[in-house]
Amino acid sequence: MQYARKQYMDQLIRKKDNGRIKVITGLRRSGKTYLLFTLYRQYLLDNGVEEDQIVGLALDEIDNAKYRNPFELNKVVRERMPDKNKHYYVFIDEIQFVTEIPNPYVDDPNEKLTFIDVVLGLMKLPNADIYVTGSNSKMLSSDIPTQFRDRGDEIRVYPLSFAEVYELYEGDKRGAWRDYYTYGGMPLVWTMESHEEKNRYLQNLFNRTYIKDVLERHQINNDEEILDILLNDLASGIGSLTNPCRLSNTFAAERHIRIAPDTIDKYIRFFMEAFLIQKAARYDVKRRKYIKTPVKYYYSDPGLRNARLGFRQLEETHLMENVLYNDLIRRGFDVDVGVVEQNARDELRKNIRKQLEVDFVVNRGDERYYIQSALSISDPENKDQVIASLIRIPDSFKKIVVVRDYVKPWRDNNGIQYVGIEDFLLDEGLISR
């Protein structure tokens, strides 16, 4: 199976030879190496670049272990670019494997040399176009503007989207949707036949790759059980409001484990840096301000989430919300959880304020959309509950309800659009029409 990864190929092609470092980040095993070393490499070859103009090094391979030293990496890349009259394309895979070493030419023991020094030096060569991949967002995402001194462009690679999976899926849209929210979008999963194979692969990714990465990167020695429990709790609670204090109380009440909220917050940040989970803040739509806590967490891939729980909690309503969040983020939107206050009265006829939730407040530039996720709106009472927050939003931005039911896109008298989940995921232009 060869997925075209068109979204990311388009970005690479646009940024080709722009004089900046192309930094390809994302969850490990999401297809970064395949994108660069197979798809983009073939694009270059098809467009006149010769084989010897492409310099590729995979630093996670044992044969290239010596190049994890910054000096050795710098040396070998320059050696493979012998002709100053030729233009070279340098691919360095999993660059986070390069270690920090003391600068042997100065007396200050705190001065370190890193891959940043190597890459910035290579970038200054007039005949080099530099591409690196990495899985650690602490080094390669949040710090790109400072570490690369505004000379780096990040290309964030996500697991396969539903639309990408459906391109090669042998079956109908409903079957593709069911398999997608169950097994997610890790590319290798879609080469496997049985549930047992897919489950084993996803479980091994967690235990042998992701958790191991976090433990080693942050030198955590005694809390592996805590990380396991926390990942499971976050998996069980996708789409639910929570915060480190609530999670700390859960540890104490249900497992008799004392762990400080600050420690939980730190570990959650580690998961986010590894691209395992993402956080959605709450936004007060009427007052136009953010609410600090609680927040929602979503898994970057629903298959990984389900594997954490042994495929025992396949609640389609929460998984659908998770898939929608991931797809909107992948499209380049900023996504928050909306809050709309409503004045009401309780049983004693006293005035009270109720908070109604908008699943997603979606922004990109001057675009804004309000989106609700619902399994069904066939029951009028349920439909009224779904749109209760939308009809109380005091602006004219587009409002959409995405449903699991088969529906043709239509609008009601409130101007709210209704669309089926498969159509929404397959047609990116639908959101703005």
pLDDT at 75: 97
* Res 218: pLDDT: 86
Mean pLDDT of 251-266: 93
Residue 175 · residue 42 · CB < 8 Å: no
* Structure-token match 């006293």, residue found: 350
Top-confidence residue, 140 or 111: 111
Single out the residue of 129, 125, 183, 121 nearest to residue 149, CA to CA. Answer: 121
Q: Which helix (H) or strand (E) holds 367?
A: strand 367-374
What residues contact 21, with CB distance under 8 A and at least 6 apart? 119, 120, 123, 130, 131, 132, 148, 151, 152, 153
Report the pLDDT averaged over residues 138-155: 70
Q: Would you list the DSSP string of 63-81?
A: GGGGGGSHHHHHHHHHHT-
User: What totals of helices (H) and strands (E) does the chain contain, helices first?
Assistant: 18, 15
Residue 337: pLDDT band by 50, 70, 90 thresholds?
Answer: very high
Strand partners, 54: 89
Q: Which two tokens stand for residue 386?
A: 């779904």
The one-letter code for the residue type at 304 is L
| Residue 62 phi, psi dihedral angles, 5° rounding | -60, -30
Position 144 pLDDT exceeds 70: no
Three-state DSSP class for residue 8? helix
Place of tokens 């197979």: 38
pLDDT tens string 266-314: 999 999 988 999 999 999 998 899 998 899 999 999 999 999 999 998 9
Categorise residue 150: left if φ over 0, alpha if ψ from -120 to 50, beta otherwise: left
Sign (positive/negative) of CA torsion 90, 95, 97, 98?
A: positive
Rounded-to-integer distance, Cα 422 and Cα 162, Å: 8
Mean pLDDT of the chain: 92
What domains does the chain contain, in order, with CATH numbers? Answer: 6-157 (3.40.50.300), 161-433 (no CATH)
Which pTM does this prediction carry?
Answer: 0.93
Report which of 60, 73, 65, 59 is spatially closest to residue 118, judged by C-alpha positions.
Answer: 73
Main-chain phi, psi angles of 239, to 5 degrees: 80, 0
pLDDT in tens, 371-418: 999 999 989 999 999 999 999 998 999 999 999 988 889 999 999 999
pLDDT of residue 1: 74
Q: How far apart are CA 10 and CA 280, in angstroms?
A: 27
Q: Is the Cβ–Cβ distance between 152 and 21 less than 8 Å? A: yes
Residue 70 contacts residue 113 (beta carbons within 8 Å):
yes
The pLDDT, as a whole number, for residue 346 is 67
pLDDT at site 143:
59
| 31 φψ region: left (φ > 0), alpha (ψ -120 to 50), beta (else) | left
**Burial (Cβ within 10 Å: 0-12, 13-18, ≥19) of residue 326:** buried
Length of the chain: 433
Contact between 371 and 359 under an 8 Å Cβ cutoff? The reply is yes
Q: How confident is the model over 171-204, as pLDDT tens digits?
A: 999 999 999 999 999 999 999 999 999 999 999 9
Q: Is the CB of residue 54 less than 8 Å from the CB of residue 88?
A: yes
> Residue 206 has which token pair?
């967690």
- Of 320, 300, 323, whose CA–CA distance to 374 is shortest? 320
Nearest to 402 by CA among 179, 177, 157: 177
Q: Does 138 have pLDDT greater than 70?
A: no
Strands, DSSP E only, in 246-321? Answer: 277-284, 289-299
